Amino acid sequence: MSILPEEKPSPRLRKQKWKVAVLANIKDDNQPTPEGVPPDAFADFDHIETVDALRTAIEADGHTTVFIHADRDLPYALRKEKPDICFNIAEGLGGDAREAQVPALLEMLAIPYTGSRVLANGISLDKTLTKRIWRDRRLPVAPFQEFQFGDEPLRPELKFPLFVKPAREGTGMGVDMNAIVNNEKELRERAQYIVSTYQQPALVETFLPGREFTVGILGRADSKLYSRHPEWYEKDGFHRFPVLELDTGNTEGPWVYTNEAKSKDVGPEGNEGFFCPAKIDPELEKKLKHLALRAHLILNALDVSRTDIRLDEEGNPRLIEINTLPGLTPSYSDLCLQSEAEGIPYTDLVLEILYLGASRWGMIEPREIASETNNNKKK
Ligand SMILES: Nc1ncnc2c1ncn2[C@@H]1O[C@H](COP(=O)(O)OP(=O)(O)O)[C@@H](O)[C@H]1O
Ligand SMILES: [Mg+2]
Q: Rounded to an integer, what is the distance from CA 58 to the centroid of its chain?
A: 20
- Mean pLDDT over 232-245 rounds to 98
Cα(125)–Cα(118) distance, integer angstroms: 11
More confidently predicted of 76 and 257: 76
Q: Are 46 and 27 in contact (CB under 8 A)?
A: yes
Q: Find out whether the peptide bond into 317 is cis, omega within 30 degrees of 0.
A: no
Q: Are 121 and 97 in contact (CB under 8 A)?
A: yes
- Among 11-25, 91-105, 216-230, 339-353, whose mean pLDDT is lowest? 11-25
Cα(130)–Cα(125) distance, integer angstroms: 8
For residue 148, give the 3-state DSSP assignment.
Answer: coil
User: For residue range 36-74, what is the model confidence (pLDDT) as tens digits?
Assistant: 777 777 777 899 999 999 999 999 999 999 999 999 999
Cα(204)–Cα(206) distance, integer angstroms: 7
- Among 3-12, 180-189, 233-242, whose mean pLDDT is lowest? 3-12
Residue 175 has pLDDT above 90, yes or no: no
Distance (angstroms) between ligand 1 centre and the Cα of 215 equals: 14
Q: What is the pLDDT of residue 374?
A: 46
Distance (angstroms) between ligand 2 centre and the Cα of 43 equals: 13
Strands annotated E in the chain: 19-24, 64-69, 85-88, 144-147, 162-166, 180-181, 202-206, 212-219, 238-240, 244-246, 274-275, 303-311, 317-323
Cα(239)–Cα(232) distance, integer angstroms: 6
Q: Which residues line ligand 1 (CB under 6 A)?
A: 127, 142, 163, 165, 170-173, 175, 205, 207-208, 212, 256-257, 308, 310, 320-321
Cα(11)–Cα(64) distance, integer angstroms: 19
The pTM of the whole model exceeds 0.85: yes
Distance (angstroms) between ligand 1 centre and the Cα of 320 equals: 7
- Mean pLDDT over 253-265 rounds to 63
Among 123, 213, 257, 316, residue to substitute to test ligand 1 (most atoms within 8 Å of Cβ): 257
Cα(131)–Cα(371) distance, integer angstroms: 43
Distance (angstroms) between ligand 2 centre and the Cα of 366 equals: 35
Which band of pLDDT confidence, cut at 50, 70 and 90, is reported for residue 102?
A: very high
b/e for 31-50, b at 16 or more Cβ within 10 A?
Answer: eeeeeeebebbbbbbbeeeb
Q: What is the pLDDT of residue 3?
A: 54
User: For residue range 319-347, what is the model confidence (pLDDT) as tens digits?
Assistant: 999 999 999 999 999 999 999 999 999 99
Among 162, 263, 310, 313, residue to substitute to test ligand 1 (most atoms within 8 Å of Cβ): 310
Q: What is the pLDDT of residue 6?
A: 54
Number of the ligand 1 atom closest to the C-alpha atom of 208: 3
Residue 5 has pLDDT above 80, yes or no: no
Cα(94)–Cα(113) distance, integer angstroms: 20
Q: Compute the mean pLDDT over every residue in the chain, rounded to the nearest whole number.
A: 89
Q: Find out whether the peptide bond into 277 is cis, omega within 30 degrees of 0.
A: yes
Which ranges in the chain are annotated with CATH 3.40.50.20?
A: 12-114
User: For residue range 279-298, what is the model confidence (pLDDT) as tens digits?
Assistant: 999 999 999 999 999 999 99
Which ranges in the chain are annotated with CATH 3.30.1490.20?
A: 143-206
Residue 149: how many other CB atoms lie within 10 Å: 11
Q: Which residues pair with 46 in a beta bridge?
A: 26
Among 135, 160, 175, 272, residue to substitute to test ligand 1 (most atoms within 8 Å of Cβ): 175
Q: What is the pLDDT of residue 369?
A: 56
- Mean pLDDT over 301-319 rounds to 98
Angle CA(176)–CA(253)–CA(335) in degrees, nearest 5?
Answer: 60
Number of the ligand 1 atom closest to the C-alpha atom of 206: 1
Which ranges in the chain are annotated with CATH 3.30.470.20?
A: 212-360
User: For residue range 190-232, what is the model confidence (pLDDT) as tens digits?
Assistant: 999 999 999 999 999 999 999 999 999 999 999 999 999 999 9
Backbone angles phi, psi at 319, to 5 degrees: -70, 135
Distance (angstroms) between ligand 2 centre and the Cα of 214 equals: 8
Distance (angstroms) between ligand 1 centre and the Cα of 110 equals: 36
- Mean pLDDT over 70-83 rounds to 97
E strand or H helix at 118: helix 118-125
Q: Are 126 and 97 in contact (CB under 8 A)?
A: yes
Which option is the CATH number for 12-114: 3.40.30.10, 3.40.309.10, 3.40.50.20, 3.30.830.10? 3.40.50.20
Residue 270 has pLDDT above 50, yes or no: no
Q: What is the pLDDT of residue 190?
A: 95
Q: Which CATH architecture has domain 212-360?
A: 2-Layer Sandwich (3.30)
Among 263, 320, 324, residue to substitute to test ligand 1 (most atoms within 8 Å of Cβ): 320
Q: What is the pLDDT of residue 248?
A: 72
Quickly name the fold that domain 143-206 has. Dna Ligase; domain 1 (3.30.1490)
Residue 238 has pLDDT above 80, yes or no: yes
Q: What is the pLDDT of residue 372?
A: 46
* Ligand whose nearest atom lies closest to the CA of 210: 1
Distance (angstroms) between ligand 2 centre and the Cα of 203 equals: 14
- Mean pLDDT over 312-317 rounds to 97
Protein residue with least CA distance to atom 15, ligand 1: 172
Q: What percent of the chain has pLDDT over 70?
A: 87
Q: What is the pLDDT of residue 10?
A: 54
